A and B are shown apart, each in its own frame.
Chain A
Amino acid sequence: MTIIDLIIIIPILAAVAIGCGGSARVLALAAAWANLLLGLVVFVTLVAKGGDEMHFKSSWVLLHSPELTLGFAVDGMSGVLVLLTVIVTFCAVRVSSGDLGKGSGKLYYISLLLIAAGALGAFCATDLFFFYAFHELALIPTFLMIGIYGNGREKVATAWKITIYLGVGSLILLGGLIALYVSLSPPGAPTFDIAKLAPSPGEHPLSAEVQKWIFLPLLVGFGILVSLFPFHSWAAPAYAAAPTPVAMLHAGVLKKFGLYGMLRVAMPLLPEGFEAWKGLLLVLLLGNILYVGLVTISQRYLDRMIGNSSVMHMGYIFLGIACCNSIGWGGAVLMMFAHGISIALLFALCGSLRERLDTLEISRLGGLGGSMPFLAVTFGFAAFASIGLPGFANFASEITIFFAAFKDAGEMGILQVATILALWGVVISAVYMLRAYRSIFQGELIGERYPADLAQSMRLPVVLMIVILLLTGFFPNIILKLLPNLFEVL
């Protein structure tokens, strides 16, 4: 049993222990701490050994035909996402309020731990089947969390929407993955092992036409899971309705599954399939950046605004993926990390605002900076990070992606045009974030109450996330240098 197996199994065991009658919050915190430490160990090991190869391999063959292996391993890319997951999980468990009813508090923490375990399993699986299966593990916990503990009047409708939307997305994805493994397996030996499916460089067994049609369900399936325009409408309402830790985990971590799948499965295995749909993808991601960006500006509620901003930023990551070179993909992974942390931070702060205020309608708030200085300052950091101001990892990743689009570009192609249009997204981000910040925290205090500042228990996770964003912003190489290998496949 390797350290990666431990990381995946600890949350599951903790969930089982809670179910069997253990103390929910204590066990969840213990699991989160353990995972955070183990995740750091994994990350440090990867830094020491380099991210080119798979480390901490483990595998149990479950079936021989088709070859099905319960196996886990990490390379640089999955290592970064594992780190992201353990950090966000830790913070999400920390910010969960402990005063839930006895019976239901159990369900709450069990769901949280299962969502985390599902994400970790999906990021580390070396087998296409379990890559898919672990992601689906989060479906029921999310449904229950939004339905039982959600906010707002629309929580029931929202819970159904996200469940069915993501259910359809994963089924389409499953169809694509089956077609993929059937077509790419070596003759007579069907296998789900991602490494064995990878075509040898230079000679791809499938024609461009076949690749094109297998790529489509993958793009649509992953696209739905990542809220690619026009499949994005589930995301913002769901994050607004979800309890804070679920919004943090879902927007911060789980959504990265689709992007990870693009980078791990779709792009390397079907390079020509991507070429066929590149134009379409560029149009769609501009839809994310520009259309959803404008939608974000027009939001009246803070939680919806943050949710939409998260949808918008997915466009940049897709842009990085579409660059098809190592700089762009490195930028995309860095942005997955940076966005994961910054959106979790925003949702954490938004959640504590929700606890203290009657409404999150931006125009009815004002002057809160006076009574909650700590929250105001940290929210400022989060907002700047989200806009992509220099010094934060978000800036480093965005700039990397924009540069990558122009690498080796002799003339203006569609990619370059799309990138120039996408640059306007930065302006859009600045507009809605700064407007919201000014309206909420500055100016005259609206209302008579002076809400309390951020609770002590929240401060550690919030500061932790800010420090990580700054650290990786000033030294993006910590992450980037783990990622060189992915891209030689093309």
Chain B
Amino acid sequence: MLPYYLEICVVVLGSLMLCMELFAGRRSRAKIAMVGVAGLGVIFALLMFAVCSPGEDLQYWGIYHFDKWAAFYKGLALISTLLVLVMAREFAPVFKHYTSQDEEKSGIGEFYCLPIFVCSGLMWMASAKDLVTIFVSLELVTMGFYVLVAFMRRNVGSLEAGVKYLILGALSTGFLVYGIAWTFGVSGTFNLEELSVVLAGDDIPSAPVMFAFALLIAGIGFKIAVVPFQIWVPDVYQGAAMPVTAYLSVASKAAGFIVFLRVVDPFLAAPSIREPAIYLMVFVTCATLIYGNLAAIAQKNIKRLLAYSSIAHAGFLLMALPALGAAGTIAGPGPESAISFYLAGYLLMTLLCFLVLTVVRVATNGEDLTALEGLGKRSPFLAFAMLVGVASLAGIPLTVGFFGKFFLFNIAIQNAMQNGLWIVVFLAVLGAATGFYYYFKIIRAMYWEGSVSEGEVTGLKVGRLAMLAIILLVVAVFFFGIFPAPLLGLTL
């Protein structure tokens, strides 16, 4: 089977769902979501068959690559889209509240279809090794998100988020195009492999290359939310519907990171600009670590808190970058596999948190920390699931989040021992310690706060599918937190 059939399958699935929506009339749209979930599940199974050739790098038309990372990130995109659909189905009541109670007018059917198309873009990003392809696939994803973020049309927050995302997204696209243009001007190629050959030459003018590099970082930095391109994150995360926020913070970030890695790699490998490029990266890393962690402390809205935490996680992920191109000197997993492992773990724990939050949001109509109060008494299992997700985000051992952080610290400390970049390690330790505070605030809200009287102790309603997803995610967070090898093996 040709690997690019996967993307075609996803697009076909999306179109099919759109047709269903067209002919559904006034009937319930929940089935459309189920079709999406089932379809994505089947495509994920197909991906397993496509993976079976390890070490291979298939190329099509010079712009589409299929290697182990492409497969890995395609898998991440599929799973996160699938879970987001589950979440969206759970979220439907809130959604209708802000659009229309009428199924047909609410547009909820389209809401189920859009993530599918975004997913095809994400999967394409994973295979893009050419600046033009990267740009097109990135835009496909971003276009989808423009609509998704602003979808709750009777909610001011959602509209505000949509406008912000649109304007800043367009700005970042501008940076990206400009960076691509400069890169092409300097090197005469869009292809990243050829680019690394050209940049490795001696007669490369370093100033324009650095300029191009900085522009590219700015463009992609928007997608993965690193400082100073993070301004949109808190407002957009807060304003968008819960499933969209989850989708943004997981899938968009993961796909952004694989592109980021692929784009940064040729620049860091070029001897003439390796040093300034690394200093630029270190600056960005430090700023991201400080900003994300410190700003998260004061947050009272959970989505905003998770937005800053998502910035902080981007900072942790960036710690591994200076080791790019120096692989082989690092004991343990290299930077690429550490980052991939972390992102996979991040997917599990973040979607776990968002699933629980979706349930809470539907039941209590609140997105502040106070909405979680008494959850430990009302729904012990949901509270436990949230506890697991949060503990994993904070990096408590025996959860997948700890292994992720551990591999990254492993790389950062070895970097520091070789190159003296101790500042990054120092800030990361401080950041992780700060993380204990703001993540534990969530735990505190669930277990200490709020006196729930006996009469009120009623569990929250959870859909069967969502419950199954929550259970599976809890198990996965623990399983990979004790046995990382199966997941790490996919990234090596």
Q: Which residues in B have their C-beta under 8 angstroms from that of A181?
A: 331
Across the interface, B397 reaches (CB within 8 A) one of A65, A107, A136, namely: A136
Secondary structure of the A contact surface, majority rule? helix
Given contacts A164-B436, A167-B433, A175-B409, contact A70 B444 (CB under 8 A): no
Q: Mark A140-156, 1 if CB is under 8 A from B, else 0.
A: 10011001100000001
Per-residue CB contact flags for chain A residues 322-354 toward chain B (1 = under 8 Å, else 0) read 000000000000000000000000000000000
| Complex CA distance for A253 and B483, rounded to whole angstroms | 28
Bound together, the chains give a CA A289 to CA B227 distance in angstroms of: 47
B469 within 8 A of A: no
Chain B nearest CB, measured from A399 CB (Å): 38
Q: Does A50 contact B (CB under 8 A)?
A: no
Q: Can you list 29 A-B contacts with CB-CB less than 8 angstroms, sorted by A residue number? A: A19-B384, A62-B482, A63-B485, A66-B410, A70-B482, A107-B376, A133-B402, A136-B396, A137-B396, A137-B398, A140-B387, A143-B440, A143-B443, A144-B443, A144-B448, A147-B444, A148-B448, A164-B437, A168-B433, A171-B432, A171-B433, A174-B409, A175-B413, A175-B425, A178-B410, A179-B413, A182-B413, A183-B417, A190-B331
Question: In the assembled complex, which residues on chain A have CB atoms less than 8 Å from the CB atom of B293?
Answer: none
Q: Which chain B residues numbered 362 to 399 have a C-beta less than 8 Å away from chain A? A: 376-377, 380, 384, 387, 391, 396-398
Q: How far is the CA of A172 from the CA of B409 in the complex (A)?
A: 11
A134 within 8 A of B: yes
Q: Does B488 contact A (CB under 8 A)?
A: yes
Write the B448-492 contact mask toward A (1 if CB under 8 angstroms, else 0).
Answer: 100000000100000000000000000000000011110010000
Cβ-based interface call for A194 (8 A): no
Given A68-B484, A147-B447, A175-B413, 10 further pairs, Cβ under 8 A: A62-B483, A63-B485, A132-B397, A137-B397, A164-B436, A164-B437, A167-B432, A178-B414, A179-B417, A182-B413
The docked-state distance in angstroms from the alpha carbon of A140 to that of B482 is: 18
Given contacts A139-B396, A190-B331, are A172 and B377 in contact (CB under 8 A)?
no
Give B414-449 as 1s and 0s: 1 = Cβ < 8 Å from A's Cβ atoms: 100100000001000100110011001001100110
B362 CB, min distance to chain A CBs, angstroms: 23
In the complex, the answer to whether A133 meets B417 with C-beta atoms within 8 Å is: no
| Residue B201 at the chain A interface, CB threshold 8 Å | no
Total CB contacts across the A-B interface at under 8 A: 96
Q: How far is the CA of A163 from the CA of B435 in the complex (A)?
A: 11
**CB distance B332 to A148 under 8 Å?**
no
Please name all residues of chain A whose beta carbon is closer than 8 Å to the beta carbon of B448 when the two chains form the complex: 144, 147-148, 156
Q: Beyond A70-B482, A143-B443, A164-B433, is A63–B488 a contact (Cβ under 8 Å)?
A: yes
A172 with B429: in contact, given A62-B485, A147-B447 (CB under 8 Å)? yes
Please tell me if the beta carbons of B332 and A65 are within 8 angstroms of each other in the complex: yes
Within the assembled complex, what's the spacing in Å between the Cα atoms of A174 and B412? 12
User: Which of B376, B397, B436, B443 sits near A133, CB closer than 8 Å?
Assistant: B397
Residue of A nearest to B448 (CB): A147
Query: Which residues from chain A contact B457 at a C-beta distance below 8 Å?
Result: 103
On A, residues with C-beta under 8 Å from B are 19, 62-66, 68, 70, 103-104, 106-107, 129, 132-134, 136-137, 139-140, 143-144, 147-148, 156, 160, 163-164, 167-168, 171-172, 174-175, 178-179, 181-183, 185, 190
Name which residue of chain B comes closest to A61, CB basis: B485
**B447 engages A144 (CB within 8 Å):** yes
Q: Hey, which chain B residues are within 8 Å of A190, CB to CB?
A: 331-332
Residue in chain B with minimal CB distance to A64: B485
- Cβ–Cβ < 8 Å partners of B402 in chain A: 133, 136
A139 / chain B contacts, CB cutoff of 8 Å: 396, 436
Interface residues of B (CB under 8 A from A): 331-333, 376-377, 380, 384, 387, 391, 396-398, 402, 406, 409-410, 413-414, 417, 425, 429, 432-433, 436-437, 440, 443-444, 447-448, 457, 482-485, 488
Q: Which residues from A are CB-within-8-Å of B444?
A: 143, 147
A64 to B396, CA, bound (A): 22
Residue of B nearest to A174 (CB): B409
Q: Which residue of B lies closest to A156 (CB)?
A: B448
Least Cβ–Cβ distance between A34 and chain B, in angstroms: 22
* Nearest opposing residue in chain A for B391, CB measure: A140
Q: How far is the CB of B423 from chain A (nearest CB, A)?
A: 13
Interfacial chain A residues near B391, Cβ < 8 Å:
140
Contact between chains at A168 and B396 (CB < 8 Å): no
B414 and A182 contacting across the interface, CB-CB below 8 Å: yes
Q: In whole angstroms, what is the CA distance A139 to B457 when docked?
A: 28
Is A66 in contact with B331, judged by CB distance below 8 angstroms?
yes
User: Chain B residues near A19 (CB, 8 Å)?
Assistant: 380, 384
Candidates A106, A163, A168; contact of B440 at CB < 8 Å: A163
Q: Does the CB pair A62–B331 fall under 8 Å?
A: no
Q: Which residue of B lies closest to A146 (CB)?
A: B448
Q: How far is the CB of B10 from chain A (nearest CB, A)?
A: 33
Measured in the bound complex, the distance between the Cα atoms of B410 and A190 in whole Å is 11
Bound: A65/B333 CA distance, A:
7
A49 to B396: give the CA distance in the assembly, Å. 37
Assembled-state Cα–Cα distance A171/B485 (Å)? 23
> Which partner residue on chain B sits nearest A19 by CB separation?
B384
B377, B448, B488 — most chain A CB neighbours (10 Å): B448
